[in-house]
Structure 1
Amino acid sequence: MTQAVIITEAASFQVKEMMRHNEEEGSFLRVAVKGGGCSGLTYGMGFEKEQGSDDEQYEQFGIKVLVAKEDAGILNGTVVDYKQSLMGGGFTIENPNAIASCGCGTSFRTAKKAGTPENC
């Protein structure tokens, strides 16, 4: 099965730390697409205890990842990384399917799905 989302080693390390800190060990990491944001779509990430019937599931660097089948095409080839700088750290998301994105870095649209933009 092709993995819609690629989690880097740096991102997986940070996700594991967050799981330990939030007592979420053994949970899945869900990567999702939601409507909204300046460009129409936004990314979402969170922990879930159970896999749904419409989810694709795979594992990278010991992280069990869930992506809803309806989001897989939009996220295909997306790389989730974690970068640290003097100003702090944070997750970065690089989606090769995004044709436009907002300055916030979390809002985007694709050629096939524009979503519903909101005022930012």
Structure 2
Amino acid sequence: MTEVVILSEAAAYRVKEMMKHNDEEGSLLRVSVNGGGCSGLSYGMGFEKEVQGEDLELHQHGIHMVVAKEDATILNGTTIDYKESLMGGGFTIENPNAIASCGCGSSFRTAVKQGTPENC
């Protein structure tokens, strides 16, 4: 079975740096799906202190991640990477379940869940 979310080594390194910089060492990385964005759904990433109810727990490259059970089917097989360029760096998200996305790269929709698009 495919991991729900695959975190690259580069992304894990950047998350660890962010945790250290923001006094979040030992926190969990929550990867989520939220309503909104140009295409109807958007990705979320943030730090939390505790696992919630039916969260799925993942451990990769020293990062303890959680994903809400309801988001797992939408995110199944999603890869999170971190890339640097001359313009700076940023996280990239590749979701094999997304059937449409907008130019910003953080808004999408799937065949199963459309979400509620917002004007961009």
Q: Aligning the two structures, in what range does the TM-score lie when normalised by the shorter sequence?
A: over 0.9
TM-score (norm 2): 0.98
Q: How far apart in 2 are the matches of 1:44 and 1:71? A: 11
Q: How far apart in 1 are the matches of 2:104 and 2:88? A: 16
The secondary structure found in structure 2 opposite 1:104 is: coil
Q: How far apart in 1 are the matches of 2:72 and 2:80? A: 14
Once the two structures are TM-superposed, the CA of residue 2 in structure 1 deviates from its matched residue by 5.1
Q: How far apart in 2 are the matches of 1:80 and 1:113? A: 20
* Residues 1:50 and 1:2: Cα distance change in structure 2 (over 3 Å): farther
Q: How far apart in 2 are the matches of 1:67 and 1:110? A: 17
Question: What residue number does 2:109 align with?
Answer: 109
For the 8 Å contact 2:2–2:77, the answer to whether it is kept is: no
The secondary structure found in structure 2 opposite 1:93 is: strand
How many residues are paired up?
Answer: 120
TM-score (norm 1): 0.98
| Identical pairs, percent | 73
Question: What residue number does 2:33 align with?
Answer: 33
Q: How far apart in 2 are the matches of 1:63 and 1:9? A: 10
Q: How far apart in 2 are the matches of 1:40 and 1:82? A: 24
Letter in 2 for 1:43: Y
Question: What residue number does 2:65 align with?
Answer: 65
Question: What residue number does 2:81 align with?
Answer: 81
Q: How far apart in 2 are the matches of 1:37 and 1:17? A: 27
Q: Which runs of 5+ in 2 are unaligned?
A: none
Q: Which runs of 5+ in 1 are unaligned?
A: none
Q: How far apart in 1 are the matches of 2:44 and 2:114? A: 16
Q: How far apart in 1 are the matches of 2:64 and 2:71? A: 17
The secondary structure found in structure 2 opposite 1:118 is: coil
Poorly superposed stretches of 4+, deviation over 4 Å: none
